[in-house]
Structure 1
């Protein structure tokens, strides 16, 4: 990819990246190109916003039309004020898409200046905004209130169209790192099916995938209040973690270096006395593979380790297998792991 890359080819590359359909090599090439080409970087931002909007039910059926209108408006120098002052009887599709883009990118300036107009269009709608992160990817967003959120692979974040006006509630299936903008009048809530986290302004990490048997909340700064569906309540302070067991309904507080729970932000992985079954889930999301553990004993084995972003899945499996307990084989995108019966580890 070079400076003369065709616009259609660039859009195809970006589309493949956003949908998780590109190789690591293609991803690295694209990101390097974007870092050195401002026009391409702007195209990437615009397409990222459209991609996020297209996952919202209200816009899904108009995806192609929205994209065409966005490109048309981008090529014009019409100001947001001009667009928003159009007759309400003739509100264009672009206005709706532009407002959604503003929300998704956290453009607070436009959001608060044109609150009345945008609220009328959006807050009455039932469908929430939804940001999905493909397996093997991570993404960063800024919510309308200024809260910064990093989302890990396979995560889904949803929030209402009235977010930041009447409430600040988000639902999370997956893992997210939050730097919450302080607002004493409107508390911030992160909810999944099992635990509700309440904060005013703080920094914390939540790991709560639907297919895991636990929810882990790690606090770096400030204070959070936790309420579980089982009725358990807890308050956390910096460098404390809360582990909620979905099976038993119990919530346990642990002293820990909460920062280690956020190593995924740099592409790393840390396991502290974690079951092999849980490790397998995290490796599946990070490396876009399927892992089948063909041993009930191995699923219950616990391991600890710290791995950086340069280590691939083979490196990690080898280091975890320091006592030569298991062997593995690869078939397509699936890794089969069994108790070792002698011989060298298969690759």
Structure 2
């Protein structure tokens, strides 16, 4: 008989449908050197493939030891057949029970050790992404940004890591706080909508609250934001400052492929333009970096934005191959300095 025939006979025996002759055949197979143990080991290896190897060997060793103990308790040949059959049935039942119990142990062990793999949303320059999280929260990820979450997004809390900029619309859940972590800040919310910006190359990190309430924590301070409020964290000084904003929508226009600048330095504006248009822009004059601009160029070309900036400041630019060079217009600088006196 093939091994599959013995297994079918084994199932038939458990259903109490096997004849006396079939039971004898089954007993001989169980008694045969290594046959039953080999089969049990094959089944075990298939069932426990995801288990820690050391634990797997230890538990299966205990099962084989138990089988050996049952073998040693079997009565000699002179004992009556019903008694021997009962003992063999007990052996089978014991093995099944052990496998079931160990199977449950494997399950709970695997569940307790299971680590949710990190889910990473990486957005290239010039691109954007829209993500729905496992809890139903929605996230819009800006260009040149990276959002990740894994085992910490669970039944107790919802923690994500952000490098760059993203806008969040959080599904309310009072029992599971929603936390966005950057290198500098942790923004904690229960159910709200807010924008977080923290690019490595920029000197400030910021959070703007649209609805609800959030708590922003740094290594040095903790502030609570109400709607229409913004926090700016200075990475160099560690100082965090809160202010009121007139229109929070200006801070998330990037969702709609439009640009808005609120008193931003040219240095920060250039970082934004590089990410938005996936290009390289260099300053030939360092003094240009400190100039500021407020306005909404909207969804337009890079050259149009550069023209707008050159009309409001002593800036001139040159397109050289795939790079844009910004330099200071000396004549215009004298005019602006005179006008500002």
Distance 2:185 2:201 in 1: 15
Look up the match of 1:336: 325
Distance 1:312 1:122 in 2: 53
Shift of 1:303: 1.1
Look up the match of 1:322: 311
Look up the match of 1:271: 261
Structure number with bigger Rg = 2
Shift of 1:321: 1.5
Q: Does 1:125 align with 2:125?
A: no
For the structure 1 residues 176 and 324, does the alpha-carbon distance in structure 2 shift closer, same or farther, using more than 3 Å as the test? Answer: closer
CA offsets 1:234-273 (integer angstroms, 9 cap, x no match): 1111111111111111111111121110000000111111
Q: Of the candidates 240, 246, 255, which is equivalent to residue 251 of structure 1?
A: 240
Look up the match of 1:176: 166
Say whether the 8 Å CA contact 2:163–2:198 is kept in structure 1: yes
Shift of 1:320: 1.5
Shift of 1:324: 5.3
Q: Does 1:160 align with 2:153?
A: no
Say whether the 8 Å CA contact 1:122–1:162 is kept in structure 2: no
Aligned pair count reads: 231
After TM superposition, which residue ranges in structure 1, 4 or more long, deviate above 3 angstroms? Answer: 87-91, 119-123
Distance 1:88 1:207 in 2: 47
Distance 1:255 1:321 in 2: 29
Distance 1:164 1:282 in 2: 33
Distance 2:135 2:273 in 1: 33
Distance 1:122 1:283 in 2: 46
Q: Of the candidates 189, 206, 222, which is equivalent to residue 196 of structure 2?
A: 206
User: When the two structures are superposed, what TM-score results if normalisation uses the length of structure 1?
Assistant: 0.62
The secondary structure found in structure 2 opposite 1:297 is helix
Q: Does 1:312 align with 2:311?
A: no
Shift of 1:88: 5.4
> What is the RMSD computed on CA atoms of the aligned residues?
2.5
Say whether the 8 Å CA contact 1:123–1:162 is kept in structure 2: no
User: When the two structures are superposed, what TM-score results if normalisation uses the length of structure 2?
Assistant: 0.63
Look up the match of 2:138: 148
Say whether the 8 Å CA contact 1:145–1:164 is kept in structure 2: no
Look up the match of 2:230: 241
The secondary structure found in structure 1 opposite 2:180 is strand
Shift of 1:153: 0.1
For structure 2, the residue ranges without an aligned partner over 5 or more in a row are: 1-45, 51-106, 333-341
The secondary structure found in structure 2 opposite 1:318 is helix
For structure 1, the residue ranges without an aligned partner over 5 or more in a row are: 1-86, 92-116
